[in-house]
Amino acid sequence: MSLNLADVKRIAHLARIAVEEDEMPGYLQQLSNILNLVEEMQAVDTTGIEPMAHAQDVVLRLRNDVATEIDRHAAYQAVAPQVEADLYLVPKVIE
């Protein structure tokens, strides 16, 4: 499986990673090599095999509908890049 530069641009956009034009050929080569490695999977017939998402048969546990956590708002916001009035600040989205 070989990618092209347009694929790399699309992937970078979906991954929200800014990639400079001059970095594109390097990513193209490396991502194509990795996809060639995983291509080996396609040779095996997996008809009728159940996919395995987890090593154990995990069942989501239910808990009582009560608040158990204490308010740690200040501690969690203390490590944020930018906050104001108890809110996380990001660039303006809507004018």
Partner 1 sequence: MINTSLKELSAQLVSKKISSVELTQTFLDRIKGLNPKLNAFITIDENKSLAQAKAADALIASGKAGPLTGIPVAQKDIFCAEGWLSTCGSKMLHNFVSPYDAHVIEQFNRSGAVNLGKTNMDEFAMGSSNETSYFGKVKNPWDLDAVPGGSSGGSAAAVAARLCPAATGTDTGGSIRQPAALNGITGIKPTYGVVSRYGMIAFASSLDQGGPMAKSAEDCALLLNVMAGFDARDSTSLEREKEDYGRDLDQPLKGLRIGLPKEYFAAGLSADVAQAIEAALAEYRKLGAQTVDISLPNSKLAVPVYYVLAPAEASSNLARFDGVRYGYRAPEYTDLADMYGKTRAQGFGAEVKRRIMIGTYVLSAGYYDAYYLKAQKLRRLIAQDFTNAFAQCDMIMGPTSPTTAFNLGEKSDDPVSMYLSDIYTIAVNLAGLPGMSIPAGFGANGRPVGLQIIGNYFSEAKMLNVAHQYQMATDWHTRLPPLGEGLGVRG
| Least gap, CB of 25 to partner 1 (angstroms) | 14
First to last CA, the chain: 43
Residue ranges in contact with partner 1 by CB under 8 A: 3, 7-8, 11-12, 14-19, 27, 30-31, 33-35, 37-42, 44, 46, 49-56, 58, 60-61, 63, 72, 75-76, 78-82, 88, 90-93
| Least gap, CB of 24 to partner 1 (angstroms) | 12
Q: Which long-range contacts (CB under 8 A, 24 or more apart) does 36-45 make?
A: 36/1, 36/2, 39/1
Cβ pair 2, 33 in contact under 8 A? no
| Least gap, CB of 9 to partner 1 (angstroms) | 11
Q: Which is nearer to partner 1, 5 or 34 (CB)?
A: 34
- Cα R_g (the chain), whole angstroms: 23
